[in-house]
Structure 1
Amino acid sequence: MLVRDAMSTVVLTIGPTHTLRQAARLMSARRVGAAVVLDEDSSGLGILTERDILNSLALGQNPDTETACTHTTTDVVFAASGWTLEEAASAMAHGGFRHLIVLDEGGPVGIVSVRDIIRCWAPVRQQIPA
Protein backbone atom coordinates (compact mmCIF):
# COMPACT_ATOMS: atom_id res chain seq x y z
CA MET A 1 0.00 0.00 0.00
CA LEU A 2 1.18 3.51 -0.81
CA VAL A 3 1.19 6.80 1.08
CA ARG A 4 -1.43 8.18 -1.32
CA ASP A 5 -3.80 5.44 -0.17
CA ALA A 6 -3.39 6.27 3.53
CA MET A 7 -2.80 10.02 3.67
CA SER A 8 -5.33 12.60 4.69
CA THR A 9 -5.95 15.10 1.94
CA VAL A 10 -7.23 17.61 4.49
CA VAL A 11 -4.19 19.86 4.68
CA LEU A 12 -4.53 22.71 7.11
CA THR A 13 -2.20 25.52 6.04
CA ILE A 14 -1.47 28.42 8.36
CA GLY A 15 0.88 31.37 8.30
CA PRO A 16 3.87 31.97 10.56
CA THR A 17 2.10 34.77 12.43
CA HIS A 18 -0.85 32.67 13.56
CA THR A 19 -0.87 32.43 17.34
CA LEU A 20 -0.73 29.01 18.92
CA ARG A 21 -4.31 29.46 20.11
CA GLN A 22 -5.46 30.25 16.57
CA ALA A 23 -3.57 27.22 15.27
CA ALA A 24 -5.04 24.97 17.98
CA ARG A 25 -8.57 26.15 17.19
CA LEU A 26 -8.12 25.48 13.49
CA MET A 27 -6.53 22.09 14.12
CA SER A 28 -9.36 21.15 16.50
CA ALA A 29 -12.05 22.30 14.07
CA ARG A 30 -10.51 20.27 11.23
CA ARG A 31 -9.75 17.35 13.57
CA VAL A 32 -6.09 17.20 12.52
CA GLY A 33 -2.94 16.84 14.59
CA ALA A 34 -0.68 19.01 12.47
CA ALA A 35 -0.72 22.14 10.34
CA VAL A 36 1.53 23.03 7.44
CA VAL A 37 3.12 26.41 8.09
CA LEU A 38 3.71 28.30 4.87
CA ASP A 39 6.27 31.09 5.21
CA GLU A 40 6.92 32.51 1.78
CA ASP A 41 9.43 35.02 3.15
CA SER A 42 11.86 32.51 4.63
CA SER A 43 11.99 28.76 4.95
CA GLY A 44 9.01 27.80 2.82
CA LEU A 45 7.14 24.86 4.37
CA GLY A 46 7.25 23.78 7.97
CA ILE A 47 5.02 21.82 10.31
CA LEU A 48 3.36 22.70 13.60
CA THR A 49 2.02 19.75 15.56
CA GLU A 50 -0.18 19.34 18.59
CA ARG A 51 2.95 18.28 20.47
CA ASP A 52 4.61 21.63 19.63
CA ILE A 53 1.63 23.45 21.14
CA LEU A 54 1.62 21.16 24.18
CA ASN A 55 5.34 21.75 24.78
CA SER A 56 4.81 25.51 24.64
CA LEU A 57 1.99 25.32 27.17
CA ALA A 58 4.09 23.09 29.44
CA LEU A 59 6.73 25.83 29.48
CA GLY A 60 4.10 28.33 30.65
CA GLN A 61 4.12 30.29 27.41
CA ASN A 62 1.06 32.29 26.42
CA PRO A 63 -0.78 30.72 23.45
CA ASP A 64 -2.25 34.12 22.60
CA THR A 65 1.16 35.71 22.03
CA GLU A 66 3.34 32.78 20.93
CA THR A 67 3.36 32.47 17.15
CA ALA A 68 3.57 29.45 14.90
CA CYS A 69 6.93 30.52 13.44
CA THR A 70 8.57 30.21 16.85
CA HIS A 71 7.46 26.60 17.25
CA THR A 72 7.48 25.37 13.66
CA THR A 73 9.75 22.52 12.63
CA THR A 74 11.47 23.70 9.47
CA ASP A 75 13.86 20.80 8.86
CA VAL A 76 10.94 18.71 7.67
CA VAL A 77 11.18 15.29 6.09
CA PHE A 78 8.71 15.15 3.23
CA ALA A 79 7.09 12.07 1.72
CA ALA A 80 6.12 11.39 -1.86
CA SER A 81 2.66 10.06 -2.54
CA GLY A 82 4.25 7.05 -4.23
CA TRP A 83 6.23 5.97 -1.18
CA THR A 84 5.23 2.70 0.42
CA LEU A 85 3.80 2.81 3.92
CA GLU A 86 6.93 0.95 5.02
CA GLU A 87 9.08 3.80 3.71
CA ALA A 88 6.93 6.37 5.49
CA ALA A 89 6.94 4.40 8.76
CA SER A 90 10.70 3.99 8.54
CA ALA A 91 11.21 7.74 8.01
CA MET A 92 8.98 8.48 11.01
CA ALA A 93 10.71 5.95 13.25
CA HIS A 94 14.17 7.15 12.19
CA GLY A 95 13.29 10.83 12.67
CA GLY A 96 11.20 10.42 15.82
CA PHE A 97 8.09 12.17 14.51
CA ARG A 98 4.48 11.21 13.79
CA HIS A 99 3.54 13.23 10.69
CA LEU A 100 4.92 13.56 7.18
CA ILE A 101 3.88 16.28 4.74
CA VAL A 102 3.20 14.64 1.39
CA LEU A 103 4.44 16.64 -1.59
CA ASP A 104 3.45 16.24 -5.20
CA GLU A 105 4.71 18.62 -7.87
CA GLY A 106 6.30 20.77 -5.18
CA GLY A 107 3.19 21.47 -3.11
CA PRO A 108 1.56 19.80 -0.14
CA VAL A 109 -1.19 17.38 -1.19
CA GLY A 110 -1.67 15.57 2.08
CA ILE A 111 -0.34 14.54 5.45
CA VAL A 112 0.27 10.98 6.52
CA SER A 113 0.40 10.18 10.21
CA VAL A 114 1.28 7.15 12.27
CA ARG A 115 -2.45 6.76 12.90
CA ASP A 116 -3.13 6.64 9.14
CA ILE A 117 -0.56 3.90 8.72
CA ILE A 118 -1.92 1.88 11.64
CA ARG A 119 -5.43 2.09 10.18
CA CYS A 120 -4.15 0.56 6.97
CA TRP A 121 -2.07 -2.14 8.63
CA ALA A 122 -4.42 -3.19 11.43
CA PRO A 123 -7.28 -5.55 10.61
CA VAL A 124 -10.68 -3.94 10.73
CA ARG A 125 -12.74 -5.03 13.70
CA GLN A 126 -15.92 -6.72 12.69
CA GLN A 127 -19.02 -6.46 14.79
CA ILE A 128 -20.01 -9.81 16.22
CA PRO A 129 -23.78 -10.18 16.31
CA ALA A 130 -25.15 -10.54 19.82
Structure 2
Amino acid sequence: MLVRDAMSTVVLTIGPAHTLRQAARLMAARRVGAAVVLDTDTSGLGILTERDVLNSLGAGQDPDHESAAAHTTTDVVFAAPSWTLEEAADAMTHGGFRHLIVLDAEGPVGIVSVRDIIRCWAPARHRAEATTLAG
Protein backbone atom coordinates (compact mmCIF):
# COMPACT_ATOMS: atom_id res chain seq x y z
CA MET A 1 0.00 0.00 0.00
CA LEU A 2 1.20 3.51 -0.82
CA VAL A 3 1.22 6.78 1.10
CA ARG A 4 -1.37 8.21 -1.34
CA ASP A 5 -3.77 5.47 -0.20
CA ALA A 6 -3.38 6.27 3.50
CA MET A 7 -2.77 10.01 3.70
CA SER A 8 -5.29 12.58 4.77
CA THR A 9 -5.93 15.05 1.99
CA VAL A 10 -7.19 17.61 4.50
CA VAL A 11 -4.14 19.85 4.71
CA LEU A 12 -4.43 22.73 7.13
CA THR A 13 -2.00 25.47 6.13
CA ILE A 14 -1.24 28.32 8.50
CA GLY A 15 1.24 31.16 8.59
CA PRO A 16 4.13 31.52 11.02
CA ALA A 17 2.46 34.53 12.69
CA HIS A 18 -0.59 32.53 13.81
CA THR A 19 -0.72 32.17 17.57
CA LEU A 20 -0.74 28.71 19.08
CA ARG A 21 -4.33 29.27 20.18
CA GLN A 22 -5.36 30.13 16.61
CA ALA A 23 -3.51 27.08 15.31
CA ALA A 24 -5.10 24.83 17.94
CA ARG A 25 -8.59 26.12 17.12
CA LEU A 26 -8.08 25.51 13.41
CA MET A 27 -6.62 22.04 14.01
CA ALA A 28 -9.53 21.13 16.30
CA ALA A 29 -12.12 22.46 13.85
CA ARG A 30 -10.67 20.35 11.03
CA ARG A 31 -9.98 17.39 13.33
CA VAL A 32 -6.30 17.17 12.34
CA GLY A 33 -3.23 16.68 14.49
CA ALA A 34 -0.84 18.80 12.46
CA ALA A 35 -0.72 21.96 10.38
CA VAL A 36 1.63 22.84 7.56
CA VAL A 37 3.28 26.16 8.34
CA LEU A 38 3.97 28.09 5.15
CA ASP A 39 6.34 31.04 5.41
CA THR A 40 5.69 33.04 2.24
CA ASP A 41 8.71 35.26 2.94
CA THR A 42 11.12 32.33 2.72
CA SER A 43 8.97 29.87 0.72
CA GLY A 44 9.69 27.45 3.53
CA LEU A 45 7.44 24.70 4.79
CA GLY A 46 7.33 23.45 8.33
CA ILE A 47 5.00 21.49 10.54
CA LEU A 48 3.26 22.32 13.79
CA THR A 49 1.77 19.37 15.63
CA GLU A 50 -0.58 18.93 18.54
CA ARG A 51 2.44 17.81 20.55
CA ASP A 52 4.15 21.15 19.87
CA VAL A 53 1.12 22.97 21.26
CA LEU A 54 0.97 20.64 24.25
CA ASN A 55 4.67 21.10 25.03
CA SER A 56 4.26 24.87 24.96
CA LEU A 57 1.27 24.77 27.29
CA GLY A 58 3.07 22.35 29.59
CA ALA A 59 5.96 24.81 29.79
CA GLY A 60 3.55 27.50 30.99
CA GLN A 61 3.69 29.56 27.81
CA ASP A 62 0.73 31.73 26.81
CA PRO A 63 -0.92 30.33 23.65
CA ASP A 64 -2.22 33.81 22.82
CA HIS A 65 1.33 35.20 22.65
CA GLU A 66 3.32 32.24 21.32
CA SER A 67 3.65 32.19 17.53
CA ALA A 68 3.47 29.10 15.39
CA ALA A 69 6.91 30.05 14.04
CA ALA A 70 8.46 29.65 17.49
CA HIS A 71 7.25 26.03 17.70
CA THR A 72 7.40 24.90 14.08
CA THR A 73 9.67 22.08 13.01
CA THR A 74 11.45 23.33 9.89
CA ASP A 75 13.88 20.46 9.25
CA VAL A 76 11.01 18.41 7.89
CA VAL A 77 11.19 15.03 6.19
CA PHE A 78 8.73 14.95 3.33
CA ALA A 79 7.08 11.90 1.79
CA ALA A 80 6.08 11.35 -1.80
CA PRO A 81 2.63 9.96 -2.60
CA SER A 82 4.37 7.01 -4.26
CA TRP A 83 6.26 5.94 -1.11
CA THR A 84 5.21 2.67 0.42
CA LEU A 85 3.76 2.75 3.90
CA GLU A 86 6.86 0.85 5.01
CA GLU A 87 9.06 3.70 3.75
CA ALA A 88 6.90 6.24 5.58
CA ALA A 89 6.95 4.19 8.80
CA ASP A 90 10.73 3.80 8.54
CA ALA A 91 11.17 7.57 8.10
CA MET A 92 8.94 8.25 11.11
CA THR A 93 10.72 5.69 13.26
CA HIS A 94 14.16 6.93 12.25
CA GLY A 95 13.22 10.59 12.79
CA GLY A 96 11.14 10.10 15.92
CA PHE A 97 8.02 11.86 14.64
CA ARG A 98 4.42 10.93 13.93
CA HIS A 99 3.50 13.00 10.86
CA LEU A 100 4.90 13.40 7.35
CA ILE A 101 3.93 16.14 4.94
CA VAL A 102 3.24 14.56 1.55
CA LEU A 103 4.54 16.59 -1.39
CA ASP A 104 4.15 16.29 -5.11
CA ALA A 105 5.37 18.69 -7.80
CA GLU A 106 2.64 21.19 -6.90
CA GLY A 107 3.34 21.30 -3.16
CA PRO A 108 1.67 19.74 -0.11
CA VAL A 109 -1.07 17.28 -1.08
CA GLY A 110 -1.59 15.51 2.21
CA ILE A 111 -0.31 14.46 5.58
CA VAL A 112 0.25 10.88 6.62
CA SER A 113 0.33 10.02 10.30
CA VAL A 114 1.17 6.94 12.32
CA ARG A 115 -2.58 6.56 12.89
CA ASP A 116 -3.20 6.54 9.13
CA ILE A 117 -0.63 3.78 8.66
CA ILE A 118 -2.01 1.68 11.50
CA ARG A 119 -5.53 2.10 10.13
CA CYS A 120 -4.34 0.64 6.80
CA TRP A 121 -2.20 -2.12 8.26
CA ALA A 122 -4.66 -3.38 10.88
CA PRO A 123 -7.27 -4.68 8.40
CA ALA A 124 -4.53 -6.29 6.28
CA ARG A 125 -3.19 -8.08 9.37
CA HIS A 126 -6.65 -9.33 10.28
CA ARG A 127 -7.18 -10.62 6.71
CA ALA A 128 -3.83 -12.42 6.85
CA GLU A 129 -4.67 -14.01 10.21
CA ALA A 130 -8.08 -15.12 8.93
CA THR A 131 -6.46 -16.68 5.87
CA THR A 132 -3.91 -18.48 8.02
CA LEU A 133 -6.62 -19.82 10.35
CA ALA A 134 -8.81 -20.91 7.43
CA GLY A 135 -5.92 -22.64 5.66
Do Structure 1 and Structure 2 share a fold, with TM-score over 0.5? yes
Within a 5 Å distance, the mapping from 1:6-85 to structure 2 comes to 6-42=6-42, 44-85=44-85
Task: Please tell me the root mean square deviation across aligned C-alpha atoms, in Å.
Answer: 1.2
**TM-score w.r.t. structure 2 length?**
0.90
What letter matches 1:68 in structure 2? Answer: A
What number of residue pairs does the alignment pair up?
A: 125
- Higher alpha-carbon Rg: 2
Distance in 2, Cα, partners of 1:106 & 1:88: 20
Please report how far the alpha carbon of residue 42 of structure 1 lies from its aligned counterpart in structure 2 after TM superposition: 2.6
What letter matches 1:51 in structure 2? Answer: R
Match of 1:112 in 2: 112
Q: Deviations over 1:3-42 (max 9, x none)?
A: 0000000000000000000000000000000000000213
Q: Secondary structure, in 3 states, of the residue corresponding to 1:100?
A: strand
Identity of aligned residues (%): 84
Q: Secondary structure, in 3 states, of the residue corresponding to 2:123?
A: coil
Instruction: Flag structure 2 segments of 5+ consecutive residues without an equivalent.
Output: 127-135
Q: Secondary structure, in 3 states, of the residue corresponding to 1:70?
A: helix
**TM-score w.r.t. structure 1 length?**
0.93
In proportion to residue count, which structure has more helix?
Answer: 2
Instruction: Flag structure 1 segments of 5+ consecutive residues without an equivalent.
Output: 126-130
What letter matches 1:121 in structure 2? Answer: W
Please report how far the alpha carbon of residue 106 of structure 1 lies from its aligned counterpart in structure 2 after TM superposition: 4.4
